[in-house]
Amino acid sequence: MPSGHIHPTAIVEPGARLGTGCIVQAYAFVSRHCELGEAVVVHPFALLGGDPQDLSFRGEVSSGVRIGARTIIREHVTISRATQADTCTEIGADCFLMASCHVAHDCRIGDRVVIANAVLLAGHVHVDERVFLGGGAVVHQFCRIGENAMIGGGARISQDVPPFCMATERSALIGLNAVGLRRRGLKAAALAELKRAYRALDVPVGNLREIAAALLGRGDFVSPEAQTFLKFFCGGRRQFVRSRTTALEE
C-alpha cells in the first residue's frame, strides 16, 4: 500500500488533519475532531474521534483526539474525543493499539505504549510512556499507570499503578517490571536504588503519599528512576495498588 493512502471506503470527515504518510484502511472512520501525526496507520473499522460515552456531554463542544506520529491503530479500536472545550484525548507517538481496545474520553496515553486486544480504558485515565497493557485488562476512570509499568492480561485496575511496576488481577501489585527495566538498560546502581525505594513503600499499612514525601525530603534517592517512582505517589486522586499479600489480606 502506498505511503499516504486513504482507502475509497474509509471516511475521513472534512476538518480532520492528517500528517504526511498516514494510511487509513477500508471502512475506518476518522472524524473531523481528529489530528493525526505523520505515518499513523488506521486499520479497518477503527473509529477515531467519536462523541464520548458520557450522558452529560453536549455535542456542540469543540474537543478532539490527537494521535502521535507512527502510532498503529488496529481493527475495531475506538477512541473518544474529550469532554471539555478546547481539550483532546491524547495518544502519544509510536504506540500500538491492538484490535478492539477502547480509549475513552479525556485519556492521556504517553509515547511507545502497547495496548493489547480488548483493553478498556475508562475516562480520564493517564498512561505514561513505555507501558504495556495486557489483553482484556480494564482500567477504572481517573486511574494513572506510571512509566514502564506492565499490566497483566485480564487485570481489573481501580487504583494507581506506580512506575516500573507490574500489576494484575484485582489491583494487585506483584513487583518491579524486571523485564522492562532490563530492556531499558537501567544501570545496576539505579536499579538497586529503585529496589530500595520500592521496598520502602511495599508496606501493608501506612499513608504512601506521606512515606514517599518523607523519603524525597531526606534526599537519599538521586537516580531519575527512583525520583520518578517516589514523585508518582505525590499526585493523583485515587489510592495505590498494594502487593498481592496485602491485597488478599484487605
Catalytic residue among 33, 76, 102, 105: 105
98, 116 Cβ separation under 8 angstroms: yes
Catalytic site residue from 33, 106, 124, 160: 106
Considering the candidates 37, 110, 123, 146, report the single residue annotated as catalytic.
123
- The DSSP letter of residue 241 is -
**Is 160 among the residues known to form the active site?**
no
Q: What is the CA radius of gyration of the chain?
A: 19
Active-site residue flag, 202: no
CA distances from 69 to 27, 61, 152 (A): 21, 26, 26
Integer Cα distance of 250 and 248 in angstroms: 5
- Cell match 483532546: residue? 88
Q: Which grid coordinates belong to 130?
A: 513505555
Task: Specify whether the CB–CB gap between 176 and 202 falls below 8 A.
Answer: no
236 in Cβ contact with 159 (< 8 Å) = no
Residue 105 annotated in active site: yes
Could you give the residue numbers annotated as active site?
Answer: 105-106, 123
